[in-house]
Structure 1
Amino acid sequence: MDSKEERLDIVEAPDEYSTPKGSTLPWWQQTGLRNLYGMMVFLFLGSTTLGYDGSLLNGLQTMNTWQTYFDEPTGSRLGIFGAIPGFGGLFVLLFAPYIADGLGRKKGTAIGCAFVIFGSLLQCFPRQGDGPRRDAMYLAGRFIMGLGSNISNGTCPLLITEVAHPRHRGRVTTIYNTLWYLGAIVAAWTCFGTLKLAGDIQWRLPTGLQCLMPGIQLITIWFLPESPRWLISKSREEEARQILVKYHGNGDDDDFVRWEYAEIVNTLQMERELSGTGWAELWRTKGNRKRCALIIATAIFSQCSGNGLVSYYLAAILRTIGITDSTTQAYINGGLTIWCFLVSLFAAFLVDRVGRRILFLIAGVGMLITFSVWTACSAVYAKTESASAGIAVVAMIFLFYGAAGAAWPGLTVSYTVEILPYNIRAKGLTLCFCFTALSGVFNQWVNPLGLEELEWRFYFVYIAVLVIECLVIYFFFVETRGPTLEEIAVLFDGEDSAAGAARFQAQEKVMSSAEQHEYAGQNPTGRD
């Protein structure tokens, strides 16, 4: 192998040899990418499943039949109804990365979908009569659904990120989590549509429809390609190369595909030689410790910025400003989810133009300003019961979620998987979900108690959190726009990292191939 000094000389090679660009056609004009992204739509259903559950509890709280069936849950009892999927997610977190790394991204997704379907059916048919047993069965269903969701969501983003073309990776992975709101829209308007139904079918129908999206995903997942990086890690290099040729090269084994394949193979080989794969690897190096700190901050901020108030307890928020009619609450809930989806989807297409860090800052500052105004308007309403102050609160809720949509729906997952090297990518994503679940459990359990005891004064807690959030983003978040998935590691670990060494080797191979072609053209007989 060449010395480090010789490899450093290779970096100064002409740009056309360092990183081949591949086809310049738009993705929809490339057969391979058109087929890949068409199938990838079914992977997005993992996020919509989560969104459906997130909005479902809001919708169910507006139904008199659900309130009657469960004896008007409030306070800590209502809190546990919202928080129990988080406990299910926490329970499976230690096993999820081993499923993703051991069985593969596709099989892991299928296992998660099966658990979600089973948990949804349990929620749909809880035991009648005896209160404790009824609650236990309902909570068991929500627990199992949370368990399954964290398995499938621990594999879907990995598969999307690792199979997407480097040029589209940021947008495609960011879109994944924004489709949480598509599930929320379906749940909100399904609940609205069943409000006029009589009897328990009013709430059982939208609860049972939780099976639809994971059911579709369970069937279609087998038609998608497996992650080339996972295949290479299992010594199935030729299968991985064929996937890259088929989808990234449109069937042509061109310079870009050869360069991409070489970079992935070399990086994984270097990671095996220089790094471990255990949990201790998450904090072994300075670069990994910084990654973990950013992942934890991202997870906590995504849940504890005031957004949890509306995500699960919009009906309670609206009651504090005098909006008690179920139909009106349902209209606001449905309109809010559509607004959030449109804003977050628009922001997902800006990640490669504006950059991740700028979008995080826009979200943090925008949420701080709108939440402060929201708090002030709530205080005015509490003192005066002014209708205009109540309307202003609703307006601020929409603006608050518009600001949040700039970053948190999409970037929470995509930023996490981007900054992690392959050898700890599944475990790092598990770390994100762990703190997301912990923050969600805390949020969902504490929020109804805080609203019940302090009403609008409880909002000051989140104003303090938002101030801290803006400072952390400004001083510590790393921009990842531009580099490939392997090259992002250099931003954290430096040129001496596995990714840096692998990049030199990939460049050497492309240079060597170019020199051989040039020599063959000058000496076609092959004779000296």
Structure 2
Amino acid sequence: MATEIPWWKQPLLRQLYFMMTFLFLGSTTLGYDGSVLNGLQTMTSWQEYFSYPVGSRLGIFGAMPGFGGLAVLLFAPYIADILGRRMGTAIGCAFIIMGSLIQSFPPSSHPEAMYLAGRFFIGFGANISNGCCPLLITEIAHPQHRGKVTTIYNTLWYLGAIIAAWTTYGTLTTLTGDIQWRLPTGLQCLMPGIQLLAIFFIPESPRWLISKGRDDEALKILTKYHANGDESDESVKWEFSEIRETLHLEKEASSSTGWLELVRTPGNRKRCFLIIVTAIFSQCSGNGLVSYYLSSILKTIGITEPKKQAIINGGLTIWCWLILLNCAFLVDRVGRRVLFLFAGLGMLISFTIWTTCSAVYAKTGSTGAGSAVLAVIFLFYGTAGAAWPGLTVSYTVEILPYHIRAKGLTLCFAFTALSCVFNQYVNPIGLEVLQWKFYFVYIAVLVIECLVIYFFYVETKGPTLEEIAILFDGENSYVGTTLPMPEKKTSASTVEHVHEV
């Protein structure tokens, strides 16, 4: 095995990872938006202000950020590739702040239009910001920590959900009138605001700098943070050489920088297939039911009291985050594919039990069956946390070579947004019309999900970010370095490990 680099013993690497916490706020912002609507639905003041939305009206409230995300998809990767990962993050944060303010102060005469406009801009800005943050994290993290750090990024979705859930509970129990829902809505500005102030203290991606011919700046960043400022460190010289030569080879081999490059080669087509199904599974595995419409779910099992719903919502978000955070540290130990399989099978089993208990409650009104549904919801999210949403972004960015990484991540967000729009618009209608019978749709999806993971997913544990290309492109991969591998890496050659996988 290569010599382990304990990040906590490296002052400058510690500094880098501390700064990365501000990048994680991009995911936290998404989580806040995902949970705040759940909390708002428990408030009579919000329901009255928007004339008690249900069915398709409630669905469009949940789906509107997805429409905003779709509107910017064609431009988001160019922002990341042309302006840089940091500037793209800043632009996205600015749009989210604007959307949050618009959403917080809709006029009483026509509240719905302004509220939806605000949610649109939140989705618009979130897709720009989140199209840059994971790229910067992956491309600047130390190779030994890349998997864990990038996976942690998407687990912070639930930190945002926790903040939103307990903020809405707090305003529900202590405030009255419109301020009850306006305050948690306006607080959505806080995290992107902090991120906007901090982003320019974080170093730019060395890979982006090399792609722009700024090799000296890239080497200084790698030396400072990956070698604690030691300019004679052979590992950093090797890392820099591999990145630079691989980017040059990719550029020479690429027929274009357009969107068709995503499907030009068999390896890229396989990557796109995995990205698309990962994005769909991340949203359409039954998790969207609880993420946005927990209030409606709880009503189907007789839990209608707003404060009780809010407490359950807050407790569920804390449970999910703890599970996700622990699983993030397993990605390099047990592998990505194993975690995906565990999550898929666990979700299928627990969702089947969930459906059965819901049917019993619907027919008998048994309080035991209702309590069982609530317990299984926690079990469902416990197993889902092995992969979703933590691996959704990290798996996507690491299987992509640099020259299509931003576009591939945008492809992931495109299908995530499409799935969200469909999911969040259809779910309230399905729950209203079919109630528990609607769950059979997700059982079918979960069966397909398990089969796809088992037969098609590629394990990426082990190789460096550049060398993962060998797993997809084989002999046609473009991985290069002009330097010999340093001694401490020779004992466990990454390239040899790739071929073993």
- Answer yes or no: same fold by TM over 0.5: yes
Counterpart check, 1:265 vs 2:265: no
Partner of 2:497: none
Name the residue aligned to 2:283.
Answer: 303
Residue 113 of structure 2: aligned partner = 136
Partners of 1:109 and 1:152 within 8 A in 2: yes
Q: Which residue of 1 aligns with 2:463?
A: 483
1:203-243 Cα deviation digits (max 9, x unpaired): 00000000000000000001000000000000000000000
Q: Does structure 1 residue 378 correspond to structure 2 residue 358? A: yes
Q: Which residue of 2 aligns with 1:449?
A: 429
Tell me the CA shift for residue 25 of structure 1: 4.4
Residue of structure 1 equivalent to 2:200: 222
Which residue is equivalent to 2:477? 497
Counterpart of 1:280 in structure 2 is 260
Q: Which residue of 2 aligns with 1:43?
A: 23
Unaligned regions of 5+ residues in structure 1, if any? 1-14, 16-20, 515-528
Looking at structure 1, the residues matched to 70 and 107 of structure 2 have their Cα atoms a distance apart, in angstroms, of: 26
1:97 equivalent in alignment to 2:99: no
Corresponding residue to 2:149 among 172, 195, 200: 172
Equivalent position of 2:106 in the other structure: 126
State the distance in 2 between where 1:469 and 1:313 align: 22
Q: Secondary structure of 1:194's match?
A: helix
Note if contact 1:90-1:438 (Cα within 8 Å) is conserved in structure 2.
yes
Conserved in 2, the CA contact under 8 Å of 1:245 and 1:251? yes
Q: Does 1:110 align with 2:111?
A: no
SS in 2 for 1:487: coil
Contact 2:207-2:218 at 8 Å conserved across structures = yes
Shift of 1:506: 3.8
Off by >6 Å, runs of 4+ in structure 1 = none
Q: Secondary structure at the match of 1:382?
A: helix
Structure 2 SS opposite 1:271: helix
DSSP 3-state at the match of 1:154: coil
Whole-angstrom CA distance in 2 between matches of 1:282 and 1:409: 23
Q: Is the 8 A contact 1:164 1:172 kept in 2?
A: yes
State the shift of 1:495 in Å.
3.2
Q: Percent identity?
A: 74
One-letter code of the match for 2:214? R
Q: Secondary structure at the match of 2:22?
A: coil
Preserved CA contact (<8 Å) 2:5 2:144: no
What is aligned with 1:7?
none
Instruction: Quote the offset at 1:507 in angstroms.
Output: 3.2
Q: Distance in 2 between matches of 1:450 and 1:507?
A: 60
Q: Which amino acid aligns with 1:81?
A: F
- Aligned to 2:220, which of 242, 247, 262? 242
| SS of corresponding position for 1:353 | helix
Greater Rg over alpha carbons, structure = 1
Q: Give the Cα–Cα distance (whole angstroms) in 2 for the partners of residues 139 and 280 of structure 1.
A: 33
Q: Distance in 2 between matches of 1:448 and 1:336?
A: 20
Counterparts in 2 of 1:244-393, with a 5 A limit? 244-253=222-231, 254-275=233-254, 276-393=256-373
Structure 1 position 186 matched with structure 2 position 158: no
Instruction: Give the CA deviation at 1:496.
Output: 3.3
**Take 1:57 and 1:464, find their aligned partners in 2: how far apart are those partners?**
27
Instruction: Report the RMSD for the aligned CA atoms in angstroms.
Output: 1.2
Q: How far did residue 134 of structure 1 move?
A: 1.7
Matched AA of 1:261: F
Distance, in Å, in 2 between the alignment partners of 1:362 and 1:160 is 26
Count of residues paired in the alignment: 485
Q: Distance in 1 between matches of 2:313 and 2:108?
A: 29
- Structure 2 partner of 1:4: none
1-structure distance, mates of 2:64, 2:176: 28
In 1, Cα distance between equivalents of 2:96 and 2:239: 36
Among 138, 163, 166, which residue is 1:161 paired with? 138
Equivalent residue number for residue 3 of structure 1? none
Counterpart AA for 1:233: S
Q: Hey, what's the Cα distance between the residues in 2 that align with 1:188 and 1:456?
A: 25
Matched ranges for 1:410-425 at <5 A: 410-425=390-405
Alpha-carbon contact 1:75-1:448 (below 8 Å) kept = yes
Q: What is the TM-score when the length of structure 2 is the normalising length?
A: 0.96
Instruction: Classify the secondary structure of the residue corresponding to 1:94.
Output: coil
- The residue type equivalent to 1:418 in the other structure is E
- Counterpart CA distance in 1 for 2:283 and 2:476 is 36
What TM-score comes out, normalization by structure 1 length?
0.91
1:232 to 210, 214, 236: 210
* AA aligned opposite 1:474: Y
